[in-house]
Structure formats: structure tokens, C-alpha cells
Structure 1
Amino acid sequence: MTTKKHLLYSAKITNNCPECFSIEGLEFSFSQEEKETKLYSKANPVIEETLYCHHCNHTIYPVNWTQDIERVYAYHKKLAKPKSTSFRLKPLAYAILIFDTLALFLLIYFLSR
């Protein structure tokens, strides 16, 4: 089973960094994990959001956010469209289902004779 991380949305903002007070360099990124096997794939409903400052190379945690950053975060979170968390079967799973169904019908047919 492999896990892929998909970047849903990324935005550079012009707020002051709480660590280095730089106006440039803050970036929000919203990502979602997806688990894949040979038979199916399913996206995790949890969206990971990070605020990173490229000027001081630090991740800014929500405890250090100012009210301005929280307002910008709320706006950008609405723009991040998550992937569907439904269960998606792959072609191998469909082939196994069809083969099993066909084998079951043949077994019932020959046993009822």
C-alpha cells in the first residue's frame, strides 16, 4: 500500500511573518493524502494545512498566527477543494469481481443439473 500526498492549493500571502517580520515569503499550502493499493484507492478526508516562511525557513504553527493571518487562512481554506473521499476500484478489482461472479454462476448452473 502506498500513500501519495496531493497538493490541493497553494497561495503566497503578504502578511508579516510572526518569526522574522518579513512581508514576503509566507505561503499557505493545503494537501491531502491518498492511499493506493493494487485493488483500490481512497483519499483521506483530513486536509493538512501548513504555513511556511521562505524568508526564515520556518514552519509557522497556528499558535503563532495573528488575527490577520487567521482571516487570510479562512479565505484560502475555502478555495482548497478536497478530492473525493469515495472508494475507487481499479481495473484489477473489476476483473476479479467479474471472474468471481462468472465462476459462481457457472458453479450454480452445473450443480443444479
Structure 2
Amino acid sequence: MKSKTNTLHTARLKNNCPTCFGTDGLEITFTQNEKETPLFKKPDATIEHTLFCHTCKNSIYPVNWTEDIERVFDYNKKIAETNKQYLKVKPLFYILVVVAIVLVAAVVYVLIPKI
């Protein structure tokens, strides 16, 4: 099973960094993992986030966030959650379903005596 990470939303913030107090370096990124098997693709229900300051080159963890950063985070999280959950079926799944239906029909045809 392969796993792939998709970036849902990235935004540059104008808030002060809690570490270096710079106003132009904060960037928040929302990502979502997607599981891929030979039969289907399905994204995880959880959306992960990272807040990184390009000025001081540090990750800012939620413990250090100010109220302003939390407000902007909530706004951007609503934007990132616009992607819905889905289940994308691959062609191999359809082939297996058709083969199963044909096998069941053949078994029923052979086992039921003709009247």
C-alpha cells in the first residue's frame, strides 16, 4: 500500500512570529495523506498542519501560538477542509467485480437442474 501526501492549502501569514517576532516569515501548510492500493485510492480523514517561520527557520508548535495566530489558523483550516472524502475505484476493481458476477452466474447455471 502506497501513501502519498497532498498539500491542500498553503498561506503566508502577516502575524508576528512568537520566536523571532518577524512579521513576514510565517507560513501555514495543511496536508492530507492518501492511501493507494491496487483496487482504490482513499484520503485519510485527518488533516495535518505545520506552521513554519522562514525568517528564523523554525517550526512553530501550537503551544507557542498567540490568539491572533489561532484565529488565522481557524480561518485557513476552514478553507483547507473544502476537499471532501472520496473513494476512487481503479479499473482492476471493476474487472474483479465482473469476473465474480460471471463466476456466480456460471455456478448457478451449472448447479441448478434444468426443468
User: Which range, TM-score by smaller chain?
Assistant: over 0.9
The aligned length equals 113
Q: What corresponds to 1:97 in structure 2?
A: 97
Where 2:17 maps in the other structure, the secondary structure is coil
Where 2:101 maps in the other structure, the secondary structure is helix
Q: Which runs of 5+ in 2 are unaligned?
A: none
Q: What corresponds to 2:14 in structure 1?
A: 14
Q: In the TM superposition, what whole-angstrom CA distance separates every residue of 1:5-56 from its partner, at most 9, and x where no partner exists?
A: 1100010011111111111110011111110010111110000011111111
Q: What corresponds to 2:33 in structure 1?
A: 33
Determine the C-alpha separation between the residues in 1 that align with 2:9 and 2:86.
20
More strand by share: 1
Across the aligned residues of Structure 1 and Structure 2, the Cα RMSD in angstroms comes to 1.2
Q: Give the aligned residue type for 1:20.
A: C
Q: Give the aligned residue type for 2:68.
A: D
Does structure 2 retain, via aligned residues, the 8 Å contact 1:43–1:83? no
* Deviation for aligned residue 1:109: 0.6
TM-score of the pair, normalised by structure 2: 0.92
Identity %: 44
Q: Give the aligned residue type for 2:6.
A: H
Q: What corresponds to 1:78 in structure 2?
A: 78
**Following superposition, which runs of at least 4 residues in structure 1 exceed 4 angstroms of deviation?**
none
Q: Give the aligned residue type for 1:37.
A: T
Q: Give the aligned residue type for 1:78.
A: K
* Deviation for aligned residue 1:107: 1.4
Q: Give the aligned residue type for 2:55.
A: H
Q: What corresponds to 1:51 in structure 2?
A: 51
Q: What corresponds to 1:60 in structure 2?
A: 60
Q: Give the aligned residue type for 1:71.
A: R
